[in-house]
Structure 1
Amino acid sequence: MPTRRWQYAVEAVGYASAEGKSMLWRKSMLDARGGVQALAWKLSRMRPQRNSSEASA
């Protein structure tokens, strides 16, 4: 599967990805915090946290 190879490569350099995940939100809560656009903006800027043993490897 070529897609899976890309996912492994991206993860190896420190970026996270997800495929086929479901998110359930209460619409009123999401709208009160900026809606889907705010959620997309936040998710696009998230980086995985590395622990000290991974950082030194």
Structure 2
Amino acid sequence: MDAKLLEILVCPICKGPLFHDKSKQELICRADRLAFAVKDGIPVMLESEARELPADEEVGS
């Protein structure tokens, strides 16, 4: 994931910052506890496609 792109991308719901989980290839919004998939280097920023993070799932830093 390009660092410049990551700097300008925000959560489509709350407009908050996103964390890139390289191991899972996801962009994570900690505030909304949603994970957006990155497919072939392209973030899928649709709320309907986001994965809800369970309460017990650790969110990296």
- The structure whose Rg is larger is 1
TM-score (norm 2): 0.27
TM-score by length of 1: 0.28
Greater share of helix: 1
